[in-house]
Amino acid sequence: MAKPKTKAKSQKPAPRSRSRKPPARSANSPLKRHLPRALIGLTALIGLVVIAAVAARHYIAPKSQRAVVALPVAKPPAPVKAAPAKPRPEAKPQVRKSPTYEIFPTEDHRATQPQPPLPPPAAPLADLPRVALIIDDIGYDQGMATKFMTLDNAVTFSILPYSPFQQAISGEMRARGMEVMLHLPMEPKEYPEIQPGRGALLVSMTPDELIRQLEKNLAAVPDIKGVNNHMGSRMTERSTQMYQIFSTLKKRGLFFIDSRTTAASLCRPSARLLQVPYAQRDVFLDHVADETEIRRQVRRLVALAHRQGSAVGIGHPHPATYTVLAEQLPLLKKSVKLVPASQLVRIGG
């Protein structure tokens, strides 16, 4: 028996994948409709701004300029005429406060004695008694030191260590061929009420301290030929410490001149023991810084030179001392021979 025919199932075709396209904008979209109008309006606005600017330039600005009230303006200062330059004054030599020059022994205050006359000139010059003039306490008044240098090249200068102008003064003296000494500060009996100054040798020092300070002082003033004491009335009475001092001077080949600030000084026997060239002060010229008294002391110095064959005078950088020496030296050199201090020292004192 014939089987009934079954209808074949109709197979649906597989759906095709389509990419969705964005819908096309309509030609009548709002942007396209309003864009021409916006451009026209912007162009018109720019035109109005330009027209307004031109009108303001030609019409509004001149009127406003006429209405503006001028503000006060400060006038520039008139040029100041420069005063004619005054010539600079010559530089004054520098001066520092000077220390106490010396503590003079009482035996030199003899102002009431009559002035001895100057001895008559002797001939020839080689036979004249010799005199050494030492100016102490140099280093604090450069101008006064320069004035004393003009007196005579045979004048000897003793410079305080660490004084403010010691280098300049000692350099000028060396250039002139003058003799330079160290004015060595030593402890006086009036210490500590009276200070002998920087670099002082004190009796309280140990031997090492004393020698160390002495070496520093000697190095402070270059090219010295010898030493004399500044103050030192206590130190020069101490033989042990004077031995230490003279031992150092002997090693350096230096002479010593005792300023004789005490009658009890032991410098002479100490120098003789250690064979140090030695001399001592005979006259302080200006223990009284008065011209009349200084003239008297100069005459006394010359008289001692004729009596002893030589003499050592010590002065200080006082104006009165300079005035008297400038006046008296021409006459003095007719009766004595002025020599540097080194020519009057000798071993054995």
pLDDT of residue 1: 47
Does the pLDDT at position 114 exceed 50?
Answer: no
| 256 within some domain | yes
Closest CA to 316 of 188, 174, 139, 66: 139
Residue-wise pLDDT tens digits, 153-162: 999 999 999 9
The verdict on residue 95 lying in a domain is no
The per-residue pLDDT for 43 is 77
Residue 153 domain flag: yes
Residue 199's domain spans which residues? 128-343
pLDDT band, very low/low/confident/very high, at 189 (cuts 50, 70, 90) = very high
Average pLDDT of the chain, as a whole number = 82
What was the pLDDT predicted at 106? Answer: 62
Of 307, 288, 317, nearest to 112 by C-alpha is 288
With respect to residue 322, please indicate whether it lies within any of the assigned structural domains. yes
Q: How many domains does the chain have?
A: 1
| Residue 105 CB burial class (10 angstroms; 0-12, 13-18, ≥19) | middle
Above 90 in pLDDT, residue 73?
Answer: no
Please report whether residue 283 resides in a domain.
Answer: yes
User: How far apart are the C-alpha atoms of 209 and 159, rounded to whole Å?
Assistant: 22
**Neighbour tally for 165: CB within 10 Å:** 20
Please work out, in degrees rounded to the nearest 5, the angle formed at the alpha carbon of residue 260 by the alpha carbons of 258 and 262. 135
Burial class for 151, CB neighbours closer than 10 Å (0-12, 13-18, 19+)? middle
Where residue 145 sits, what CATH number does that domain have?
A: 3.20.20.370
Is 65 within a domain?
no
Whether residue 134 lies inside any domain: the answer is yes
**Residue 213 is encoded by which pair of tokens?**
């300070």
> Could you tell me how many helices (H) and strands (E) the chain has, helices first?
9, 9
* 35 found inside a domain: no
Q: What is the pLDDT of residues 308-317, one digit of tens each?
A: 999 999 999 9
Summarize pLDDT for 15-69 with one digit per residue, the tens: 454 545 545 554 455 656 667 777 777 777 787 777 776 666 655 544 444 444 4
Distance CA 22, CA 105 (A): 131
Bridge partners of 228? 183, 257
Alpha helices for 253-318 (secondary structure H): 267-274, 291-308
pTM of the model: 0.69
Is the model's pLDDT at 92 over the cut of 70?
no
